[in-house]
Chains A and B, each alone.
Chain A
Amino acid sequence: MSIKKENIRNFCIVAHIDHGKSTLADRLMEKTGQVSERDMEEQLLDSMDLERERGITIKLTPVRMFYKAKNGEEYLFNLIDTPGHVDFTYEVSRSLKACEGAILIVDATQGVQAQTLANAYLALDNDLEIMPVINKIDLASAMPDEAAKEVEEILGIEAMSAPRISAKCGTNIEQVLEAVVERVPAPKGDDNAPLKALIFDSYYDNFKGVICFVRIMDGTVKVGTKIRTYMSDKQFDVTEVGVFAPNLSPQPCLRAGEVGYIAASIKSIEDTAVGDTITEVSRPAEKPLDGYKKALPMVFSGVFPVDGSKFNDLKDALLKLKLNDAALSIEPDNSAALGFGFRCGFLGLLHMDVIQARIEREFDLEIITTAPSVSYKVYKTDGQNFTVENPSKLPPTTEIDYMEEPVIKASIFTPPDYVGPIMDLCQSKRGIYKDMVYLDKTRVELKYILPLNEIIYDFFDQLKSRTRGYASFDYEISEYVKSDLVKLDMLLNGEVCDALSIIVHKEKAYERGRQIAEKLKEVIPRQMFEIPIQAAVGGKVIARETVKAFRKDVLAKCYGGDVTRKKKLLEKQKEGKKKMRSIGSVEIPSEAFISILKTDNDR
């Protein structure tokens, strides 16, 4: 492999969700002969089943392509994919750091959307050359000129000459390839300088240990190089370097400007945090690449096995997932209602959803998850202070001086028609209005400070339904602010069910308590006795519902021919019961614990 540095192009594709990122990536690979059309499984980049199913990218997958340009030169393209969800913003910014340019896809039917903006700004912040591409010109409703104009107006990037393409039909893909050659700068960097490699992703391989995805900024790395990570300050001997073709393909070395991987018998993914810098032990770089940030879990939830005896299986599953996911935090937890399990921390709700789905799908485990919580700061009257992520660990009210909750800076992008409903929503979520910017005739940006614990309930869903899907939303964690918070307990048949407790703002307690009680009434099946459901704050009942006793569950007939059938029916019921949890004498289906989240959606 002897491609000149001047002929390397490292770039990524950024887009609003569903604007065609993965499809364009597929076409680029196809056109450069990386994959033949026939063999190609739709959307190669999204390799995890789950990603393909949801149409989102979670893990980054770099792809390498060779392109013979019209000028007769051969070029090496490294396409670095980026996750497309706000939960993974930090990872997006890391992968951008590995590039010199970004293709910005804009949907010709929708124009600039919230994530188009957010990602474009991220790319600009990272000094990337941005190349707009107008996609979906094959659709009848496409308005490519308007979309291009919008890009120019909102982002201030020249877009009239942008390729007008249809990634789906493969129209004008070559224009994109040529634009990459012409507009994306070649990487800089000195092969002979001390090694500086940016880790932009990593995963655990059972045979090779952690595989670090790196962009070499300076220097050269090869097998045998003694390397050191800056942040975790660990040393390793490189056992393999290579590139993605698209599978791991070993190479003699990686030089400045190149994108590839390093394996060095690294046992823990924590040692190779995304954003960290790898350098040489013998000749360290003076300082690491800047901008390293540890990915912090923001949303916490209890995860328990439905079948209590599967605790160890759950533990194994979580540990295996953690091997590849430094952002996932796990800690043993113990609930009176649910038994032994874990308190897990996630980047956001999507991350939580993905982890849950992977546990169930890849490890075939049925789990119960409790309502997500955020991390609160508790200041006790005796001067002690600590953080609490689990409502059941909250000390008694009398011992608490005050509490603080995390708030976010939210940017909501919407057509002007929906400003009213969004403001109502933000207000009902205890939002503090900060600013409103008219971006153009069709787009407004609303800025709010919102408590994170309101966001993790049903904010996304509400936002979508109130704006018929037009609004989009981005946020960053801002700070902790003092707040009047209380613990809301749910009592079933007079007993507190710890797994149903949540921490809420005092003013919200009554409403939430009533909603949860109503929801529980729906999801708890009628049993042989009447079950009072109560919501209580500090021992005071604030809402009550009743699940009436059932009156008939017997089969009308049971004669000679009915025995087997009846037995089968009962066996099925028994199976169903196994998925229930007993709180005292009350049986609760496992989905009840998470369904209390969905109270608002139903109305």
Chain B
Amino acid sequence: MAGIYIHVPFCKSKCSYCDFASYPKETSKIESYFACLYREIEARAKEFKDKTFSTVYFGGGTPSFVDEKFILGAVRQVKKHFNLVYNPEITIEINPGTVNKEKINAYKSVGINRFSIGLQTGYDCQLKKLNRIHTAKDFLECTNLLKGENISADILIGLEDQTLEQVKKSIDLALTGGAKHLSVYALTPEVGTPIYNDYLNGRLLSDDEVADIYDGVREYLSQKGIDRYEVSNFALKGFESKHNLNYWERGEYVGLGVSASSFMNNRRWTNSYKIDEYNTAIIFNKVPEISSDIIEGKDAEFEFIMLALRTENGMSIERFNKEFNLDFLKEYAEPLKKKQKYLILENNRLKIKPEYLYVQNDIILEFMK
């Protein structure tokens, strides 16, 4: 099984923490961009005729920001050229304030069945500081349009002066809106973003404070039956993101559009981050890639371990052995022993003990050869 990722590099305005390929000032390029994207969809589909895909994911940017016809066109193009399973999971990221009834109905009409909403926080003052375009009320208006749908909401922790109580309230809001899946991300100040200055000035929460909130969130959500299944992802049973689980199983995926990354047939590649560069490449029938690597041997093994150990369920040793034709327990006896205090080995799976999931880098480093 494999996934398809489609990047929409447009939005109304840039959030203060965002370092994704997203260009609010280049909306005049929407039309030409999608024309090129459709061509890439067709070309890549030809390349992977023999593969079957089970998920599609529209990320951004703000996919819901552009006219729905572009999204519908993309879904149709994917369905036309790729082999999809019956009833694939199709997710779209939407932001409150960018959708209306018609848009949602249009999405649903082509089979989009999962909606990931960028809530971030339920406090308007915090939203404003993050340069988000919406309010808490906008979120509820948005979820009203999505009654009964499979909704996920994003929550940020680590904001200036943020408390656990505030985060709990934000979670309450998301659940009121009907979310059955939550992504709770620690704010990551990236160089070059406005929020990086806040970080340098010590305004954001410290790692210890973030960890406190995180622990509180985990406990709060588990009381509600919403369990963690990956470092930053929580869901009611059965509502996990299939698309994302595929990444952590080191499954294959094709990324389409600006800045999208792919992993197919042991090759990782990434498309250009610039719309013009991407468009030009497509128009001249060139690959829009800016990097490409074949991943083999120890590198591939490490990826497999690193990704799988992000999940609550850990890594299937059987799958590892089959994938690399190795005896994992023998091959990695040393790191397993060195870090055994933090690991669980049972049912032929390797997991990080739940309480250490948030400090896993130090553990997985041991597995790097």
Chain A neighbourhood of B244, CB < 8 A: 559
* Number of chain B residues whose Cβ lies closer than 8 Å to a Cβ of chain A: 46
Q: Which residue of B lies closest to A573 (CB)?
A: B365
Mark each residue of chain B from 226 to 251: 1 if its CB lies under 8 Å from any CB of chain A, else 0. Answer: 00000110000000000010011000
What residue in chain B is nearest A559 (Cβ atoms)?
B247
Q: Contact: B368 with A570, CB < 8 Å?
A: yes
> Which of B65-73, B162-170, B208-216, B279-287 contacts its partner?
B208-216
Residue B185 CB within 8 A of the other chain: yes
Which residues of B310-369 are within 8 A (CB) of A?
Answer: 310, 342, 356-365, 368
Q: Give min CB distance, B240 to chain A, whole Å.
A: 14
Whether, in the assembled complex, A577 has its beta carbon less than 8 Å from a beta carbon of chain B, the answer is yes
By the criterion CB–CB under 8 Å, are B262 and A528 in contact? no
Closest Cβ of chain A to B245, distance in Å, is 11
Whether B365 pairs with A567 at a CB distance below 8 angstroms is no
B53: CB under 8 A from chain A? no
A552 to B356, CA, bound (A): 9
B5 on interface, CB distance cutoff 8 Å:
yes
Q: Are A556 and B232 in contact (CB under 8 A)?
A: yes
Given A553-B359, A570-B364, A573-B361: A560 and B253 within 8 A (CB)? Answer: yes
Q: Which chain B residues border A350 with CB–CB below 8 Å?
A: none
Q: Is the CB of B259 within 8 A of A556?
A: no
Q: Looking at the complex, which one of B268, B307, B357 makes contact with A558 (CB distance below 8 Å)?
A: B307
Judged by a CB distance under 8 angstroms, whether A574 is at the interface is yes
Contact of B368 among A551, A556, A571 (CB under 8 A): A571
A193 on the B face (CB < 8 A): no
A396 within 8 A of B: no
Contact residues in A for B365 (Cβ distance below 8 Å): 570, 573-574, 577
A137 to B358 alpha-carbon distance, docked (Å): 66
Return the contact of A563 from the options B185, B208, B268, B357 (Cβ within 8 A).
B268
Q: Is A557 an interface residue (CB 8 A)?
A: yes
* Bound: A471/B363 CA distance, A: 52
- Say whether A551 contacts B359, CB under 8 Å: yes
A433 interfacial by beta-carbon distance below 8 Å: no
The answer, yes or no, to whether A139 is at the interface (CB within 8 Å) is: no
Instruction: Confirm or deny: B261 has a beta carbon within 8 angstroms of a beta carbon on chain A.
Output: yes
Q: Please, which residues of chain B bring their CB within 8 A of the CB of A571?
A: 368
B232 adjacent to A551 (CB under 8 Å): no
Tell whether B138 is near chain A: CB-to-CB under 8 Å.
Answer: no
A315 contacts the other chain (CB 8 A): no
Kindly identify which residue among A550, A558, A561 contacts B359, using a CB–CB cutoff of 8 Å.
Answer: A550
Q: Which residues in window 256-283 of A have CB below 8 A to B?
A: none
B231 touches A554 (CB 8 A): yes
For chain B residues 131-146, which have a beta carbon within 8 Å of chain A? none
Structural contact, A554 and B247, CB atoms closer than 8 A: no
A123 CA to B270 CA, complexed, in Å: 72
Name the B residues within 8 Å of A561 (CB-CB): 255, 259-261, 270
Chain A residues whose C-beta falls within 8 Å of the C-beta of B232 in the assembled complex: 556-557
Which residues from 539 to 574 on chain A have a C-beta closer than 8 Å to any C-beta of chain B?
Answer: 550-561, 563-564, 566-567, 570-571, 573-574
- Residue A527 is within 8 A (CB to CB) of chain B in the complex: yes
Contact: B210 with A557, CB < 8 Å? no
Please provide the chain B residues from 285 to 319 with a CB less than 8 Å away from any CB of chain A in the complex. Answer: 291, 293, 299, 302-303, 306-307, 310
Which residues of chain A from 359 to 414 have any CB-CB distance to chain B below 8 Å in the complex?
A: none
Interface of A is mostly: loop
Scoring B residues 81 to 102 as 1 if CB is less than 8 Å from chain A, else 0, what string do you get? 0000000000000000000000
The answer to whether A564 and B342 have CB atoms under 8 Å apart is no
Give the contacting residue for A567; candidates B214, B247, B248, B303; CB below 8 A: B303
A571-B210 Cα distance, complex, nearest whole Å: 25
List residues of chain B with CB within 8 A of the CB of A550: 207, 359, 362
Contact yes or no, A567 B185, CB < 8 A: no
Contact (A554, B255) CB under 8 Å given A561-B260, A567-B303, A574-B365:
no
- B187's nearest neighbour on chain A, judged by CB, is A556
CB–CB B247/A527 < 8 A:
no
B321 shortest CB reach to chain A, Å: 21
CB distance from A569 to the nearest CB of B (A): 8
Say whether, besides A527-B362, A560-B5, A552 and B263 are in contact (CB < 8 Å): no
What residue in chain B is nearest A561 (Cβ atoms)? Answer: B261
B188 contacts A554, C-beta separation under 8 Å = no
Is B186's CB within 8 Å of the partner chain A?
Answer: yes
Q: Does B211 lie within 8 Å of A552, measured CB to CB? A: yes
* Chain A 420-460 interface residues, beta-carbon cutoff 8 Å to B: none
Given contacts A552-B186, A552-B214, contact A560 B261 (CB under 8 A): yes
Number of chain A residues close to chain B: CB under 8 A: 23
| Closest partner residue, chain B, to A571 (CB atom) | B368
Asked whether B262 lies within 8 Å of A560 as measured between CB atoms, the reply is yes
Given contacts A560-B262, A574-B368, contact A552 B5 (CB under 8 A): no
Are B360 and A563 within 8 A (Cβ)?
A: no
Q: What distance in Å separates the Cβ of B195 from its nearest Cβ neighbour in chain A?
A: 13
CA distance A557 to B244 in the complex (A): 11
Q: Complex formed: what's the CA distance from A571 to B365 in Å? A: 8
**Measured between alpha carbons, how far is A561 from B357 in the docked complex, in Å?**
21
Are the CB atoms of B303 and A528 closer together than 8 Å? Answer: no
Residues of A within 8 A of B263 (CB): 560, 563
B356 touches A528 (CB 8 A): yes
Instruction: Tell me the bound Cα distance from A468 to B149 in angstroms.
Output: 73
With both beta carbons as reference points, the residue of chain A lying nearest to B251 in the complex is identified as A560
Contact of B247 among A555, A560, A570, A577 (CB under 8 A): A560
Q: How far is B361's CA from A551's CA once the two chains are assembled, in angstroms?
A: 11
Q: Least Cβ distance of A290 to chain B in Å?
A: 63
CA–CA, A528 and B3, complex, Å: 35
Most buried by A among B231, B232, B361: B361
| Most-contacted residue by chain A among B261, B291, B299, B364 (CB, 10 A) | B261
- With A528-B342, A551-B359, A558-B247: A564-B268 Cβ-Cβ less than 8 Å: yes
A364 to B262, CA, bound (A): 40
Give the CA-CA distance A556 to B183 in the complex, in Å: 10
> What is the CA–CA distance of A602 and B307 in the complex, to the nearest angstrom?
42
> Which residue of A556, A560, A564, A574 is within 8 Å of B231 (Cβ)?
A556
Interface string of B253-276 (1 = CB under 8 A from A): 101000111110000101000000
- Which of A559, A561, A564, A573 has most B Cβ within 10 Å? A561
| Bound Cα distance A48, B222 (Å) | 67
Q: Could you tell me the distance in whole angstroms from the C-beta of A561 to the nearest C-beta in chain B? A: 4
Asked if residues B261 and A564 are in contact (CB atoms below 8 Å), the reply is yes
Cβ–Cβ contact A553 & B360, under 8 A: yes
Interface hits, A176-209 → B, CB 8 Å: none
**A570 touching B307, Cβ below 8 Å:** no
Complex-state Cα separation, A559 to B187, whole angstroms: 16
CA distance A280 to B259 in the complex (A): 81
Query: How far is B252's CA from A560's CA once the two chains are assembled, in angstroms?
Result: 9
- Which A residues lie within 8 Å of B270 (CB)? 561, 564
- With a CB–CB cut-off of 8 A, which chain B residues contact A566? 306
Q: How far is the CA of A7 from the CA of B163 in the complex (A)?
A: 87
Central interface residue in A555, A559, A571, by most chain B CB within 10 Å? A559
Whether the Cβ atoms of B360 and A554 lie closer than 8 Å is yes
Which single residue of chain A is at the shortest CB-CB distance from B158?
A556
From B5, B268, B358, contact of A551 by CB (8 A)? B358
Are A551's CB and B357's CB within 8 A? no
Q: Which B residues are CB-close (under 8 A) to A577? A: 365
Q: A557-B188, A563-B261 are in contact. List 18 more A-B contacts (CB 8 A).
A: A527-B362, A528-B356, A550-B207, A551-B208, A551-B358, A552-B207, A553-B359, A553-B360, A554-B231, A556-B231, A558-B248, A560-B255, A561-B261, A561-B270, A563-B247, A563-B303, A570-B365, A573-B361
> Hey, which bits of chain B sit against chain A, CB under 8 A?
3, 5, 185-188, 207-208, 210-212, 214, 231-232, 244, 247-248, 253, 255, 259-263, 268, 270, 291, 293, 299, 302-303, 306-307, 310, 342, 356-365, 368
Per CB-CB distance, the 5 closest pairs between chain A and chain B, nearest first, are A551-B211, A561-B261, A553-B361, A556-B185, A552-B207
